[in-house]
Structure formats: C-alpha cells, structure tokens
Amino acid sequence: MPETTNIIIAGVGGQGVLLISSVLARAALLAGHDVKTNEVHGMAQRGGSVVAEVRYGTKVFSPLVEPETANLIASLEEIEALRYAHYLAPDGLAVVSQTQLVPTTVSSGGAHYPPDSRERLKRVFPNLRSLDLVQAAKEVGNPKAGNMVLLGVISTLLAIPPDRWEEAIETSVNSKFLDLNRRAFALGREKGRE
Amino acid sequence: MPLKREILSGNEAIARGAWEAGATFASGYPGTPSTEILENAVKYPELYCEWAPNEKVAFEAAAGASLGGSRSFATMKHVGLNVAADPLMTFSYIGAVGGFVAVVADDPGMHSSQNEQDTRQYARFAKIPILEPSDAQEAKDFMKFAFMISEKYNTPVILRSTTRVSHARSLVTLAEREEHPRAGFHKDPPRYVPIPAWGRKMRVKIEERLHSMRSRSEATDLNRIEEGTDELGIVTCGIAYQYVKEVFPTASILKLGWTYPFPDSLIHRFAGKVKRLLVVEELDDFVEEHIRSLGIPCDGRNLIPGIGEISPERLRQVRARLEGGEFDLATPVQESIDLPARPPVLCPGCPHRGVFTALHHFDVVVTGDIGCYSLGVLPPLDRLDTIICMGGGISMAHGLAKSGEKKNVVGMVGDSTFFHSGITGLLNVAVNQSKVVILVLDNRTTAMTGHQDHPGTGRTLKGENTVAVSIEAMSKSAGIDQVFTVNPYNLEELAKTFTAAFAASGPSVIVTRAPCPLAQKKTLGPVNVINQEKCVKCLACLRVGCPAVEATGGKPHINPTLCAGCGICRQTCRVGAISG
C-alpha cells in the first residue's frame, strides 16, 4: 500500500456522492488513519458534476487528489468516471455504475452523450469493475440507495476492517434510513467479493 | 478525560471554535462557501444565531453585541464583505469590547461566485488583523485566538477562510467551552461615537494598535518557521501551506497564520536564513508585495499567476521550473475530451423555469440577480441579460429604462435578495418613476445556498415561527400601484400578467410565487409522459431546459425518475402530446 491512499468519488448532483465520502472518511479515521476530504458545495450541486476526494494515511497535508495519483476512482455515472480518468494512478482501480444520465447540454441539442461510453471506460481503466447499481439498489428496495451499494463494493477494495465500516455507517447515516443503508452496503460487499 | 477527535469541515470547525471560545451571538447571510458556519453554530444552544437580511445588518448586529461585552461574530462570503464594508471601516475606529470576529470565506476559482476577491486587502484597508487557517483544526484554534486578540487590542478581527478550507474535512481535537459572561454596555460616548473631534483621536489609536499588534504577531505560534534546507525558503499561508508541504517536503517554510499586520522581523529573520525566497499565496500578491517593500527579493507572481486556485499540481510545475526542469500538467485522456459538459441547471419542477419560458415570448431586456435564477442565462432558457450583485437587477433596470432604452426592461430579483438589497432599489424605482417591470421570483427560501430562511419565510434560523414580511405590501407601501401575484407554473397566467405590466404607464411589481420543490422534498403532480404517436417532433418541450426532458434521435421523451410533475413542458406542447 502507498503511504497515502487517494480516492475520487464522482457522480451527478443528487446521487449521494457526499454521503459516500463522509462514511469513507469516518471509516478511515476509525481504522487509525489521518484523513482529509474535499467536497463541492453550492452552485455545482444543482444537477451538475459532483466530485469528492478522500485521502488517508499516516499524515495527509493537501485535501486534493493530484492527477495520476488516484488509487481508486468510484463513480455513480459513466461519463463522470471518464471525466476524471487522468487522475488514475498507473495501477489504480475503477468501480463504475452502468448509469448514464444525459446532461441538459445533450437534451437541448448542443452536445452528444458518447454511445460507446462503456467501451471507453474499458480502454482507460485497466482495472475496471462495471456494475449495474440501479438494479442492485432496486434489489434492496430503494432506487436511491445505489451510493451505499457502491460504497460496499469500494469497502472490499480497501484495507479497512469490516467493523470500522459498520461503525462509520451507523454514525454517519440518518437513523431512519440506517436499515436500508446497511442492506445496500451488505449487497455491495457481496458484489465486491464476486 | 481523553481529548475527543472528530472529522469536521472547516466551516463546522469555525462554529465549534466560536462555541468553545464562549461566543454568545452570531449573525450572517448565506453565501457559498460560508453558509454552513451558522448552520452548525445554531446547533449549540448557548450560542444565539440568526440569519440577517444582509451582511451589513449581520455585521452591525454582531458589533452591537460586542459593545455589550458579548463575544460575537458575523459570517459571510467575500462579496458579502463589500456589503458590510461600511460598518467594517468605522467599527475599526470604535473597536471591539466583547471579542468580535468577521468570518469571511473567499472563493478562489469562482466555484460559486461572480468574482474573485482577496479579503486580506480589506484587513489592511480597515487596519485590523486577519488570520488565515490552513485546515479545520486551525480554523477552530484561530477562531478562539481571534476572540482573544480582539479583546486584548479592542479590534475587530477578520478570519479568512477559502473554499478548500471551508469545505475540506479533516481531524480536529475538540475542547470544552469556556464561558465569557457579557460585561454589559457601559456608556462612553468618546469611545463609541466617531464625531470628528473624537474620531480623530480614534484614528491615532488605530495606528498605535497596529504597532503593538505587530510585535505580538512576531511572537505567536500562528506565525512559525519550519526549518528545512537553506537552499529554498517558502513564505505561505492558508490552504497553500498544505500544497507546499506536499510538493516541497525539504524546503524551509515560514507559515503565516496571522498575516496582517505583517511580522516584519520574522520575515527578515527567515529571509536571512535561505538562499532563495518564494512566496506561495492564493489570489493577490498580498504578502509578496510587502516582502518586496522590505527590500527583500523574492519569487512569487512571476512563477504563480494570481488567478484562480493554487493546486499541488501547479506547484509541481513551479518546482520543476525552479530546478531548471519541466513538468507537464496532466491533460484529460483522449476518451474524455469530447464529453458533454454537465453545468448546473434549474432542477426538475423549478418554478423559475415557468418564468423564463413565459418570457421567451417577449422581446425585453432582463437585468438579473444572484441566485438559482442566474442559471436562466444559459441555453436553452437564455432569458437573462446582465448580473452584477444582489439587488442589482432592480436598480440597473431603472437606470437602463430612465436612460432611454426602447425595449421594455425587466428587473429580476429573488425573494431572499429582495430583502437583502432589493428594497432600496425598489424605492428608487417608485420615487423616481421608471417604467420598469420588477419580477420577484419568490420560491419561499434562499435556495442556491441550500434553503436558508429569510425575512419572508416566517421562520428563524433557530426554527421558530416569526413574522413573514410581505413583498406585495412592501411594494405597495413604496407607492407602486401595479402589484401582481402569479403562479409561475401557469404559463398563460404569466404571459397575461407580463402583457398587462408592460402596458402599464408606470412601474409594476410581479411576484411569481411557488415554494422550491427541492426544499419541500415532494413532487408536484403525476409524472408526465409524451405520446410518441401525437408528437410532431417540434422539440418545443426541450426549450424549457428541464433535466427530465431528454431527446434521443430527435425524439423527445420524459425521464420518469427525474420528472417532478410540474407540467411546464406540457403547456409548451402545441399538439397536446404530453399528459400527466
């Protein structure tokens, strides 16, 4: 493992990117690491691209992940993963939901959504896990739980013990949705181990 | 008891620091990246917090609390300090009694702002100290330190955050609260009233205050030398410090946490230790210019342009250049260069969409304002022509119309910004009688910053019910006769009202009122569906710019998971192909 683990989580405003980064940061803290995250708030959240960065290790200075250093890129949407491809470290991993959200720049006719997005993902991410998170979230009973399924998958790729993840979820998630989020996370772990 | 550690954002840490310092009063106006400070501060019951109509009011309210001996603070974004600049400049003369901190969050790179401003210039302008934390721990610690020096030197203090300090999260060691009971107001007009005779005395005191603070800033932990190689010394502050630590692990560093008044002796001592001096700071060359004025040669702006954010990557390029090499900035991979942009857009179900859609039928000039409706400038809505600042749309519409513009002029404002600084512009419209249409897009909240209450919502930051100020009643009491209230989801009603307002001989106010569906967290009606057999592919429904209305291969369809059921697209369909 490198001294600092660098993770990028991408998606679209409203998909729950920030919850992933917040649980991930807490799990890293509980596992005894120094941790920093960076988030985007405000204007960009209105249906725009959203990215969060998490860095943990012995001592972390900058909250920003530099290009070509991300050990893991996780994305809730296909082209949002492509957008950050140049942040991937040479041996980095990628976990991407097979979700395609069409931006208004496309629906208003000015741009087009690449029809070969999945092929492109395979080309730019040598270590790619492509997952149908929308279907997975339906399995746990809520189409909006895809973010926690993704977190479950991520958790199997990082050296943070399982009980730390459970504690991190308990302390970060609204108690009303705790059961749902736990189930989504567990399903993600199953998928991660497949 | 073991010290508790938490992961906090810079904004959460600032709130915590104020609470630990025994603060009892806080006021502010929402603005990215500062908003979450008060939203977190209000969670501490010992600390009274309120949203003010604007930053000037927030600043003055906190200044009043300070004169009563309470530790108080005001929060705002960088452009908010422009609004509060008037009290800032003279409160510096009067000075704080209970500790007073203006917490100002800058937005280098303009993530959510209309300009870039370096708040440190205001500290020098107002002759008061400024502190620059580099992470959440410092944000908390510096907040406490700010209250302390504010009381010791009877000065307002600015705590400057930036987007990457406010919104980055990192570990913070928590402490208990220290109580600071308020001393009460003691009558002392020569101290609190800057009429010229007394103001001139205050003016002298300010210079003396700067002088004594300078010797204190030389000897504080906030300004420290981190010993490294003598080949390169770097003077840095704020978030840039963290990037310097990543990119120049062996350099000697002078970390400035208390930037102004500048610690001159410390700077001289540091510069004397190293062969080459580099200044790394975000936005203006505030520190660099001063170092040069001390007669010390240094690198800075010549290597790092003062536009936008600094990043570790940009510093790697600087390092390569200093070492006589090259460093190529990473460029997006081939597979991502033609990706469609995903700019922020009005949400599905946004009531503003109806207003912009209805305005498409009128050839008018629209002077706009800061808020979600700023997004109405982008295609396909494209129905907004100017923006300067909050409330500016009303006053600019007046000036444009009065100066002879032939087209009808619409001044746009939001509900929160109407109270922020739209009212004074409206008074001008009424008294000097311009033939403009003032459009108040009232969605019952301050939406863009994440749904904060304002004087029109009938609720306080603490969640208590209060009076709800009426925009219509205020407009009428200003002497504007034509005041309309319309439903922004009804395009026909909007068009009729616009026509009536443009035909009127004097000014009119149209309030388009519907609550932000994102704040309400509920859908407005059944999901709409396009009947593909009836659809004539005119694509009029795409002109509403709704994320839920998509088109593939020239055929429009509605994404059922995104549709909020507002029915605006349905009203634009001439053949009745959309139903819900």
For the segment A90-141, what is each residue's pLDDT rounded down to a tens digit? 999 999 999 998 887 887 667 889 999 999 999 999 999 999 998 998 999 9
Interface of B with A in 212-241 (CB under 8 A): none
Cβ separation A83–B449 shorter than 8 A = no
Closest CB to A29 among B112, B167, B171: B171
Q: Is the peptide bond before B488 cis (omega within 30 degrees of 0)?
A: no
DSSP B52: -
Which burial class, exposed, middle or buried, applies to B399 when counting CB atoms under 10 A from its CB (0-12, 13-18, 19+)? middle
C-alpha–C-alpha distance, residues B41 and B62, integer Å: 14
Q: Is A41 on the interface with B (CB under 8 A)?
A: yes
Tell me the nearest-neighbour CA distance from A53 into chain B, angstroms.
Answer: 9
Cross-sheet strand order for the sheet of B25-28: B48-51, B25-28, B72-77, B100-106, B157-162, B130-131, B258-260
Which residues in chain B are contacts of A113 at CB distance < 8 A?
340
C-alpha–C-alpha distance, residues B532 and B557, integer Å: 8
Interface of A with B in 165-194 (CB under 8 A): none
* Six-digit token string for B48: 């009274």
C-alpha–C-alpha distance, residues A93 and A192, integer Å: 12
For the cut 70, the answer to whether the pLDDT of residue A41 exceeds it is: no
Which pLDDT tens digit goes with each residue over B528-565? 999 999 999 999 999 999 989 988 778 899 988 789 99
* Six-digit token string for A104: 């208004």
* Six-digit token string for B201: 């005395």
Q: Is A157 on the interface with B (CB under 8 A)?
A: no
| Confidence (pLDDT) at A2 | 52
Tell me the nearest-neighbour CA distance from A65 into chain B, angstroms.
Answer: 9
* Six-digit token string for A160: 């943070």
C-alpha–C-alpha distance, residues A117 and B84, integer Å: 49
Residue B513's nearest CA partner among B442, B451, B566 is B442
Cβ separation A42–B380 shorter than 8 A = no
Print pLDDT tens along chain B (580 aa): 567 999 999 999 999 999 999 999 999 999 999 999 999 999 999 999 999 999 999 999 999 999 999 999 999 999 999 999 999 999 999 999 999 999 999 999 999 999 999 999 999 999 999 999 999 999 999 999 999 999 999 999 999 999 999 999 999 999 999 999 998 999 999 999 999 999 999 999 999 999 999 999 999 999 999 999 999 999 999 999 999 999 999 999 999 999 999 999 999 999 999 999 999 999 999 999 999 999 999 999 999 999 999 999 999 999 999 999 999 988 999 999 999 988 888 999 999 999 999 999 999 999 999 999 999 998 889 999 999 999 999 999 999 999 999 999 999 999 999 999 999 999 999 999 999 999 999 999 999 999 999 999 999 999 999 999 999 999 999 999 999 999 999 999 999 999 999 999 999 999 999 999 988 877 899 999 999 999 999 999 999 999 899 887 788 999 887 899 999 999 999 999 999 8
Hey, where are the domains in chain A? 4-193
DSSP A173: S
Cβ separation A47–B344 shorter than 8 A = yes
C-alpha–C-alpha distance, residues B101 and B97, integer Å: 11
Which burial class, exposed, middle or buried, applies to B124 when counting CB atoms under 10 A from its CB (0-12, 13-18, 19+)? middle
Q: Beta partners for B171?
A: B7
Q: Is A100 on the interface with B (CB under 8 A)?
A: no
Q: Beta partners for A96?
A: A75, A130
Q: Is B338 on the interface with A (CB under 8 A)?
A: yes
Closest CB to B547 among A42, A87, A104: A104
DSSP annotation string for A62-113: -SSPPTT-EEEEEESSHHHHHHTGGGEEEEEEEEEES-----HHHHTTSS--
Stated as kind and residue range, the H or E segment containing B558 is strand B555-558
Which residues in chain A are contacts of B450 at CB distance < 8 A?
41-42
Residue B469's nearest CA partner among B430, B496, B440, B500 is B440
Q: Is A39 on the interface with B (CB under 8 A)?
A: yes
C-alpha–C-alpha distance, residues B110 and B190, integer Å: 43
Cβ separation B333–A12 shorter than 8 A = no
Which pLDDT tens digit goes with each residue over B92-108? 999 999 999 999 999 99
Cβ separation A42–B340 shorter than 8 A = no
Cβ separation B542–A109 shorter than 8 A = yes
Tell me the nearest-neighbour CA distance from B33 into chain A, angstroms.
Answer: 7
DSSP A43: G
| Confidence (pLDDT) at B200 | 98
Instruction: Kindly report the three-state secondary structure assignment for every residue of B332-375.
Output: CCHHHCCCCCCCCCCCCCCCHHHHHHHHCCCCCEEECCCCHHHH
* Six-digit token string for B93: 């003369």
Q: Is A17 on the interface with B (CB under 8 A)?
A: no
Residue of B nearest to A118 (CA): B335
Cβ separation A47–B345 shorter than 8 A = yes
Which residues in chain A are contacts of B343 at CB distance < 8 A?
48, 103-105
Cβ separation A39–B169 shorter than 8 A = yes
Cβ separation A108–B372 shorter than 8 A = no
Residue A163's nearest CA partner among A56, A51, A27 is A27
Tell me the nearest-neighbour CA distance from B29 into chain A, angstroms.
Answer: 14
Instruction: Return the biggest CA–CA distance within chain B.
Output: 83
C-alpha–C-alpha distance, residues B351 and B347, integer Å: 9
DSSP annotation string for B98-159: S-EEEEEEE-TT-SS-S----THHHHHHHT--EE--SSHHHHHHHHHHHHHHHHHTT--EEE
Which residues in chain A are contacts of B550 at CB distance < 8 A?
102, 106-107
Integer angstrom CA distances of residue B145 from B14, B57, B178, B312 = 11, 25, 13, 29
Torsion of CA A41, A43, A46, A48, to 10 degrees: -80
Cβ separation B169–A67 shorter than 8 A = no
Looking at B18-129, which runs of residues are DSSP E strands?
25-28, 48-51, 72-77, 100-106
C-alpha–C-alpha distance, residues B566 and B568, integer Å: 6
Cβ separation B342–A29 shorter than 8 A = no
Produce one character per residue of A108-124: b if its CB has 16 or more CB atoms within 10 Å, e if not.
beebebbeebeebbeeb
The type of residue at B542 is: L
Q: Is B557 on the interface with A (CB under 8 A)?
A: no
Is B146 within 8 Å of B101 (Cβ atoms)? yes
C-alpha–C-alpha distance, residues B260 and B237, integer Å: 11
Cβ separation A22–B169 shorter than 8 A = yes
Which residues in chain B are contacts of A167 at CB distance < 8 A?
none
Residue of A nearest to B239 (CA): A62
Q: Beta partners for B367?
A: B386, B411
The type of residue at B290 is: H
Tell me the nearest-neighbour CA distance from B500 into chain A, angstroms.
Answer: 31
Three-class SS of residue A50? Answer: strand
Candidates 2.40.30.10, 3.40.1670.10, 3.40.630.10, 3.40.920.10; CATH matching A4-193: 3.40.920.10
Which burial class, exposed, middle or buried, applies to B433 when counting CB atoms under 10 A from its CB (0-12, 13-18, 19+)? middle
Q: Could you count the other beta carbons within 10 Å of the beta carbon of residue A83?
A: 23
Which residues in chain A are contacts of B312 at CB distance < 8 A?
62, 64, 66
C-alpha–C-alpha distance, residues A32 and B8, integer Å: 16
Which residues in chain A are contacts of B246 at CB distance < 8 A?
61-62, 66
Angle between helices B196-218 and B136-152 in degrees, nearest 10: 130
The type of residue at B332 is: P
Q: Beta partners for B158?
A: B102, B130
Which residues in chain B are contacts of A92 at CB distance < 8 A?
none
C-alpha–C-alpha distance, residues B290 and B214, integer Å: 14
Q: Cite the DSSP H helix spans in chain A.
A: 17-30, 78-83, 104-107, 117-124, 133-140, 146-155, 162-172, 178-193
| Confidence (pLDDT) at A46 | 64
Closest CB to A43 among B5, B112, B169: B112
Is B97 within 8 Å of B67 (Cβ atoms)? yes
C-alpha–C-alpha distance, residues B474 and B418, integer Å: 10
DSSP B330: P
ipTM above 0.90, yes or no: yes
| Confidence (pLDDT) at A1 | 42
Interface of B with A in 350-379 (CB under 8 A): 372, 375, 379
| Beta strands B229-237 and B157-162, pairing class | unpaired
C-alpha–C-alpha distance, residues B65 and B44, integer Å: 18
Report all structural domains of chain B as residue ranges with CATH numbers, in order of start: 5-218 (3.40.50.970), 223-322 (3.40.50.920), 352-520 (3.40.50.970), 529-579 (3.30.70.20)
C-alpha–C-alpha distance, residues A90 and B188, integer Å: 68
